[in-house]
Structures are given as structure tokens and as C-alpha cells.
Amino acid sequence: MRAVIAPDPGGPEALTLTELPDPSPGPGELLVAVAATAVNRADVMQRRGMYPPPAGAPDTLGLELSGTVVGLGEGVEGFAEGDEVCAVVAGGGYAALAVVPPSTAMPLPPGLDIVEAAAVPEVFSTAHDAVVIQGRLAAGETVLLHGGSSGVGTAGIQLARRLGADVVVTVGTEEKAAACRDLGADLAINYREVEGFAAAIREARGRGVDVILDIIGARYLAENLRALEDDGRMVTIGLMGGTTAELDMAQVLRRRLTLRGSTLRARSVEAKAALARSMVADVWPGFADGSLRPIIHERFALDDVAEAHALMESSAHIGKILLVVA
């Protein structure tokens, strides 16, 4: 089968489209013919040698996929060859075939075709888990989404609005700010044009925020705490701004703040299965009623994977970058 690997760390040119043996589904596994996958920041980090796959995961890049079931391992129930599914995977999405645990495979979101569905699993699962489940965002509250025009950001805006929450985002251009406002963001802050986003939020809205979805880490820690209201919750899912910062624990105690870290890739199959069930029960209805949709910036053929990675690293995109495999 055709697959994309990065044998040595490097830039987009390090990506190699190669032929690998076809995988076979083991007991309790599905074999999926991949229709499409998507580029995520984690893929870029893996290519650079900074984010190795967890134990047992394939070296092939790709953390999500959509496709058709073409094989069933022993003991698999509830699926048949020909079923169309999408899933978050620990690796292997950039390939013609992938092995997927049945408990983490989801039917296509209502109203989406098999290629569009590849834009959903990773970012909507991440945003739903971090903002709704862990962040406990509720109607009438306000969430701050850093990187509002990213895949996770565009998913988070829609999920928060569907809950009845207000949305604040940070972005780097007016084009991205406009795109976020079109999706329902109440306030879009260009971080290049303000001294500090916390003061800008409080000046514009008269208060801070209740929940923060943080992709930056160390560089934003102090400013994020200034942006939080008392009893606020922050969930950090990325460390683009570094890993080490000084934390005023007295402020955390005095203001009853909750700081959480979260990753999706290394979780157990059981944990991913629970999240998949929550997605189908709580998020899929939003695709059915039209309140949710994937924002797709551009589609690339698998042969053009290096160009797709270069676009991701440029940060010029709004929403998802897809790789069409079949």
C-alpha cells in the first residue's frame, strides 16, 4: 500500500511517499480503506522528530481518517464490509489502508461525504473533550479559544455557540478574525495588535472568561490567568510557546482556578472509545441540524503531502487541510 513516513527528521521534504506491506486486521480490529485524512500540528511535530508515535502505533503519519471497512478481524461485531466510518487513530492515517479499533470507529457525521468527514474526528473530538467535557463550559459562560481560525478553533467556536456560550478568540490576521466572527465568535482579538489579550478582553466585555482552550503553554500562562474569571478553568492541549513557566500558586488557590493538561493521541483505546461514544451522542446531532460543519481550507492529493505540510507550517490556512488518499 502507499503510505507517508518521515524516516529522518526535517522539513516537509523529509516526508516520503513509499510502498509498505498491506496491514491485516487482528482479532477485534477493523481494516479500513482510507478515503481521506488531514494534516494536524502533531503530524508536523512528528515529522520534525519532536513527537514520536506512542508504543504500538505505526510510524506512518496521520491522526485521523475516513474510509470504508474492507476487513474484519476475529470477533468484530456491529460492522460489515462496506460500512463508511471515520476515526481518530494513534498513527497510520496517511496510508491507503489502516487498522482501527471498532470501539473508536464512528459513522460518518450526518450530511457529510466520505472525504469531508476526514476533517471532523481529530479537531471536533479535541474541542469537545477539552472545552465541553473537561472545561465544563455551560450556557451563558464565555470561552477563550487561542488559534481561533485553526481546525480545533473553528470546531470549538461552533461547539461553544451550540451550547449557548459566548466565544472570544485570538488570531493573527484580520482575515482570520473575520472568518471567526462569521462562525459565531463574539470577539476576535488580533494578538499582534494588542499589548495583552487579557486587558483587551476585559475592556471589550467588562469581564474575563470562564474557560480557556490553550495551545500555547508557557508563554501565555500569566496572561491566561489574568484573562480567567474566578472559578475559571483552563485546558492546555499544546505547547507551541514552550513548556516551562513560573506559576503563582497563591493566585490559583485564592481564585479557585482549575488548570488541566490534555492530550488525545496517547490515551487508551477504552478512553478513546468513550470519547467516540460521546461524539456520536452529543456532537453528531449538530451536523444533522446544520449547527456544526467542518471548515475545510484546501484539499491535497497524497502525492502533494509536502505542500500540505508547508501550508500548515505557514499558518495561512483557516480550518482544516485535507489529504485525499483514494
Q: Are 176 and 153 in contact (CB under 8 A)?
A: no
- 317 with 311: CB under 8 angstroms? yes
| Residue 313: per-residue pLDDT | 95
Give the mean pLDDT of 87-115: 97
**CB contact at 8 A, 61 and 6:** yes
pTM of the full structure: 0.95
Of 245, 261, 277, which marks where a domain is finished? 261
Lowest model confidence (mean pLDDT) among 9-13, 85-89, 192-196, 298-302: 192-196
Q: Which of 261, 278, 313 is the last residue of a domain?
A: 261
127: nearest Cα among 323, 320, 312, 309:
320
Q: Any idea what the CATH number is for the domain that residue 41 is in?
A: 3.90.180.10
Q: According to the model, what pLDDT value does residue 326 have?
A: 86
| Shared domain check, 199 and 291 | no
Average pLDDT over residues 159-174: 98
Of residues 78, 82, 70, 77, the one with CA closest to residue 31: 70
CATH number at residue 247: 3.40.50.720
In this prediction, residue 56 has a pLDDT band, given cuts at 50, 70 and 90, of: confident
For residues 158-182, average pLDDT = 98
- Residue 274: which domain range? 2-120+267-324
Residue 266 has pLDDT above 90, yes or no: no
